[in-house]
Amino acid sequence: MMIKTGVPPIKSQGIKTKLVPWIKSIIPDDFHGTWIEPFMGTGAVAFNVAPRRAVLCDTNPHLVNFYAGIASGEITPEVVKEYLEREGKILLSKGEEHYYFVRDRFNSEHSPLDFLFVNRAGFNGMIRFNRKGGFNIPFCRKPQRFAQSYITKITNQVRWARILIQTKELTFKCQDFKKTIEEASSTDIIYCDPPYIDRYVDYYNGWGDADELNLYNKLSSFKGKFILSTWHHNDYRENVYIKTLWSRHSILTREHFYHVGGKKENRNPVIEALVTNFHAISTEHRHESQNQYLLLEPQVTYC
Ligand SMILES: C[S@@+](CC[C@H](N)C(=O)[O-])C[C@H]1O[C@@H](n2cnc3c(N)ncnc32)[C@H](O)[C@@H]1O
């Protein structure tokens, strides 16, 4: 049976919604521990995996505050609906001036509702912060952005996240990945989706060689299971860390398209990788063929 992938209320260029079935398909059947995400992002993976218990962390406080606001009951579908109807009306009459007004307000007051507004009315649903931590995505140029159907869609996404947060044991924390991995225990699964090395960077997504090495060391010495999302190669180049670091573990790959503007090379298909410290076999039923590279024993199998 095909299970539909849920979409969270927050969007971002690195969202893994399309890869969720693949990620879910390699989670071992006997997993009963805590699902740990040191790089939660929009929460798309955790909410779809829907484990009994999860610890979801990120260094971007705005992502964490938004879901913590849902957990505390401060943010409900009704609150979101009322807020978006009010702000949407002003956006319709004032246009981009109001988008930038809310963006400035968010950058000084950090309200989670304003974060939702700029995230959903900003260009391409992107999240990007300047060096001072200010959100700097321009307006999507659609004053009619918050039409009733769009508000209903977002409200339903908040309702979906809220039900999960209320029925599961989910903990949200704003902290660095090193601390999150250190706090995990051997019965847990750590799913890591760090900023992709050598690709997109901003204030909360600065990621360099030292970070990748740190992550490698932390994950390699972790006693439980881990799953890491990273990029393998694209038409222009390869992720050198696959060969220099991650090849000691198992690697599954598949093609994925990111629709991010900006650099031309970022609009091309990317071969995504899932690196694991256990022998993962994808049970996902797919029409396309899927390559599975086991880099230690150079062989290619199709499943
Ligand atoms: C590629 S995104 C995760 C996307 C997520 N899987 C999703 O589907 O939405 C990477 C996330 O890592 C966070 N991040 C960057 N550096 C971090 C660090 N040192 N520790 C923890 N989180 C970090 C960013 O704020 C960003 O939300």
**What's residue 177's pLDDT?**
98
Give residue 94 CA to ligand 1 midpoint distance, Å: 34
Asked if 264 and 128 sit in the same domain, the reply is no
Asked if 190 and 250 sit in the same domain, the reply is yes
Tokens representing 39 are 């790089």
The answer to whether residue 180 is domain-embedded is yes
Across-strand partners of 172?
A: 56
Q: Please name the residue whose Cα sits nearest to atom 17 of ligand 1.
A: 59
The answer to whether residue 4 is domain-embedded is no
Angle between helical axes of 148-167 and 61-72 (0-180°, round to 10)? 80
Q: Which residues line ligand 1 (CB under 6 A)?
A: 12, 14-16, 38-39, 41-42, 44-45, 58-60, 63, 176-177, 193-195, 204-205
Measured CA to CA, the distance from residue 27 to residue 42 in angstroms comes to 20
Give residue 92 CA to ligand 1 midpoint distance, Å: 33
* Residue 285: CATH number of its domain: 3.40.50.150
Asked if 118 and 214 sit in the same domain, the reply is no
Measured CA to CA, the distance from residue 67 to residue 175 in angstroms comes to 15
Look at residues 66, 63, 64, 91 and name the one whose alpha carbon lies nearest to residue 79. 66
pTM: 0.92
Give residue 287 CA to ligand 1 midpoint distance, Å: 30
* Total domain count, the chain: 2
One-letter amino acid identity for 220? S
**What's residue 1's pLDDT?**
64
Asked if 97 and 183 sit in the same domain, the reply is no
Per DSSP bridges, beta strands 53-58 and 169-174 are parallel
Give residue 194 CA to ligand 1 midpoint distance, Å: 5
**What's residue 206's pLDDT?**
86
Asked if 212 and 254 sit in the same domain, the reply is yes
* Residue 96: CATH number of its domain: 1.10.1020.10
Which residue range is the domain that position 92 belongs to? 76-162
> Which of left, alpha, beta for 239 (phi over 0: left; psi -120 to 50: alpha)?
beta
Tokens representing 239 are 């992720």
Out of 162, 194, 223, pick the residue that ends a domain: 162
Asked if 41 and 185 sit in the same domain, the reply is yes
**CA-38 nearest atom, ligand 1:** 21
CA separation (Å) from 139 to 10, 98, 118? 16, 10, 8
Asked if 297 and 196 sit in the same domain, the reply is yes
Asked if 189 and 146 sit in the same domain, the reply is no
Q: Please name the residue whose Cα sits nearest to atom 22 of ligand 1.
A: 58
pLDDT tens digit at each of 303 positions of the chain: 678 999 999 999 899 999 999 999 999 999 999 999 999 999 999 999 999 999 999 999 999 999 999 999 999 999 999 999 999 999 999 999 999 999 999 999 999 999 999 999 999 999 999 999 999 999 999 999 999 999 999 999 999 999 999 999 999 999 999 999 999 999 999 999 999 887 767 878 789 999 999 999 999 999 999 999 999 999 899 999 999 999 999 999 999 877 655 555 556 789 999 999 999 988 875 533 333 333 322 222 222
Give residue 163 CA to ligand 1 midpoint distance, Å: 23
The answer to whether residue 185 is domain-embedded is yes
**What's residue 288's pLDDT?**
38
Asked if 233 and 149 sit in the same domain, the reply is no
Largest Cα–Cα separation, the chain: 62
Please spell the DSSP secondary structure of 106-165, one letter per residue.
Answer: HHHH--HHHHHHHHHHBGGG---B-TTS-B-PPB-S-TTTT-HHHHHHHHHHHHHHHHHH
Asked if 185 and 296 sit in the same domain, the reply is yes
**What's residue 69's pLDDT?**
98
Asked if 193 and 239 sit in the same domain, the reply is yes
**What's residue 266's pLDDT?**
52
The answer to whether residue 168 is domain-embedded is no
The answer to whether residue 129 is domain-embedded is yes
